[in-house]
Structure 1
Amino acid sequence: MERIALTNKTFEGNNNAYLFADGSETVLVDTGDRLPGTYDQLESQLDDHGVAVGDVDRIFLSHWHGDHRGLAGPIQNESGATVYVHEADAPLVGGDEAAWEAMVDTQTDYFDRWGMPDAKQDAVMEVLDSVAWQDEPPDVTTMADGDTFQVNETTLNVVHAPGHSVGLCLFELDDGTEGTDVLSSDALLPKYTPNVGGADVRVERPLDQYVDTLRAIASADYDRAWPGHRSVIDDPTDRAEYIIDHHEERSYRVLDALRRHGPCDTWTVSDDLFGELHSIHILHGPGESYAHLEHLEREGYIHRDGTEYQLADGVADQLDRREDDRWPLDV
């Protein structure tokens, strides 16, 4: 397997595509985005490994986001490659207009519920429109949790890992040697913590699902994780546990924001956590705040009246007693 690093000017850190070309077929896992220049980068790096875009036989997409699926259509047009994606994300990757319209309707509904100012809504929709790349979508073949695929001398085991996206999948790599590596996509990143709540507004109980995914990664005790952005993660269990701790700290900060501000909406909590937001973070900030607020409301620690949240009785006292500035996640 070869890691192909591709630039990414919209999100955090270079994208990774993964190339399997050590046998009778050529396979890519993810393709990078579709911004100008990315196709040329991919073509050049494939050439460095002795293959061409037209040689690609199969593409496995970790999820529907444009910086992972962006070039699937153009590659398929060039090579005739079969494009696999989880069944939950297939309509979006395949360009289903009804699925996209439903996504946009859900986003705009959440923007209003979160209290996002109109100017910020316009700004983030401009960013989303610029990276959606719904033109030239690929024909897709669906895959599901537990599916296995033989790729030359390596077996890819599909592991559904929802949270960041409804259909996000990991790929466990079994090459016959001791230990197991995993292609972790955006479920586990080496520097930033993957966004939940805003990155895919279709996800129900986004924080709960993502923490479940992290706990499953930690329990799997992988040797290494090859992420969707940046460099390899040498201790995936430690990284997964760190991100769980991070979200417990964030839940504490969400509750503390409500303690200090009194009843307020999601946008106010987001501003308290992240400050002024620009570009795609206009979506990610309130989205992640919402993910925590939604979880805490279901657990009974806060109450919602319309679009405003407030602490339940006794929670302020519990916060005072927390010496570690973390709020345990009962997920």
Structure 2
Amino acid sequence: MERIALTNQTFEGNNNAYLFAEGPETVLVDTGDRLPGTYDQLEEQLDDHGVAVGDIDRIFLSHWHGDHRGLAGPIQAESGATVYVQEADAPLVAGDESAWEAMVDRQMDYFDQWGMPEAKQDEVTSVLDSVAWQEESPDVRTMEDGDSFQVNDTTLDVVHAPGHSVGLCLFELDDGSDGIDVLSSDALLPKYTPNVGGADIRVEQPLDQYLRTLRAIAEADYDRAWPGHRAVIDDPTARAEYIIDHHEERSYRVLDALDCYGPCDTWTVSDDLFGDLDGIHILHGPGESYAHLEHLEREGVVLRDEREYRLADGVTERLDERDDNRWPLDA
């Protein structure tokens, strides 16, 4: 397997596509985005490994986001490659207009519920339009949790890992050696903590689902994780546990913001956590704040009245009792 780093001007650092070409078949996992120059980069790096776009037989997409599926259509048009993606994300990858319209409508509803100012709505909508753009969508086949695919001498085992998106999948790599590596996509990143709540507003109970994914990664005790962005993660278990701790610290800060401000909306909590936001972060900041508020509301720690949230009785005292600035999270 070869890691192919492709520039990414919008999200969490360079994108990774993964090439399997040591055998009769040429396979890519993820493709990079559709922004100008990315296709040329991919061609150049494939050439460095002795293959061309037209040689690609299959593409496995970890999820629907534009920086992972972006070149699937053009590659398929050039090579005839079969494109696989999890069922929940398949309509978006395939360019189904009704699926895209439903998601955009839901986004706009959430923007209003979160209390996002109109000017910020306009700004983030412009960013989303630019990264969602695709002139040609691929035909897709669906894959599910537990599916296995033989790719030359390596078996790719599909593991559904929702949270960052509804259909996000990991790929466990079994090449017959001791231990298992995993292609972790955006479920586990080496520098940033993957966004939940904003990255895919279709996800129900986003923080709950993501915590379950992180705990499953930690329990799997993978040797290494090859992420969707940046360099390899040498201790995936420790990284997953770190991100769980991070979200417990974030939940504490969400509760502390409600304690300071009194009843307020999601945008106010986001502003306390992240400050002034621009670009795609206008979506990610309140989205993650919402994910925590929704989780804490279901736990009975936070109460909601229309768009405003407030602390339940006794929570202020419980916050004062904690000396670790963390709020334990169940999932």
| TM-score between both structures, scaled by the size of structure 1 | 1.00
**Aligned mates of 1:134, 1:109 — CA distance in 2:** 24
- Offset of residue 135 of structure 1: 2.4
Aligned positions of 1:59-208 closer than 5 A: 59-208=59-208
- Offset of residue 134 of structure 1: 3.6
| Alignment-mate amino acid for residue 110 of structure 2 | Y
- Offset of residue 330 of structure 1: 1.6
- Offset of residue 133 of structure 1: 2.0
| Alignment-mate amino acid for residue 124 of structure 1 | V
**Aligned mates of 2:10, 2:150 — CA distance in 1:** 33
Partner of 1:211: 211
| Alignment-mate amino acid for residue 102 of structure 2 | A
8 A contact 2:83–2:140 mirrored in 1: yes
- Offset of residue 155 of structure 1: 0.1
8 A contact 1:62–1:85 mirrored in 2: yes
**Aligned mates of 1:12, 1:313 — CA distance in 2:** 39
1:305 aligns with 2:283: no
SS at match of 1:136: coil
8 A contact 1:183–1:227 mirrored in 2: yes
Partner of 1:9: 9
Partner of 1:293: 293
1:227 aligns with 2:257: no
**Aligned mates of 1:132, 1:51 — CA distance in 2:** 28
SS at match of 1:155: strand
SS at match of 1:67: helix
8 A contact 2:34–2:134 mirrored in 1: no
8 A contact 1:170–1:183 mirrored in 2: yes
Partner of 1:34: 34
Partner of 2:250: 250
**Aligned mates of 2:227, 2:281 — CA distance in 1:** 20
SS at match of 1:271: helix
SS at match of 1:3: strand
- Offset of residue 42 of structure 1: 0.2
| TM-score between both structures, scaled by the size of structure 2 | 1.00
**Aligned mates of 1:319, 1:267 — CA distance in 2:** 22
**Length, aligned pairs only:** 331
**Aligned mates of 1:134, 1:163 — CA distance in 2:** 24
**Aligned mates of 1:107, 1:288 — CA distance in 2:** 14
SS at match of 2:240: helix
- Larger mean CA deviation between 285-294 and 134-143 belongs to 134-143
**Aligned mates of 2:270, 2:325 — CA distance in 1:** 18
8 A contact 1:95–1:135 mirrored in 2: no
SS at match of 1:89: helix
Give the 4+ runs in structure 1 shifted more than 3 A.
none
Q: Deviations over 1:35-67 (max 9, x none)?
A: 000000000000000000000000000000000
- Offset of residue 167 of structure 1: 0.1
**Aligned mates of 1:158, 1:288 — CA distance in 2:** 26
Stretches of structure 2 that go unaligned for 5 or more consecutive residues are none
| Alignment-mate amino acid for residue 77 of structure 1 | A
| Alignment-mate amino acid for residue 270 of structure 2 | S
SS at match of 1:150: strand
**Aligned mates of 1:204, 1:305 — CA distance in 2:** 20
Stretches of structure 1 that go unaligned for 5 or more consecutive residues are none
Q: Percent identity, aligned pairs only?
A: 84
**Aligned mates of 1:168, 1:147 — CA distance in 2:** 14
SS at match of 1:323: coil
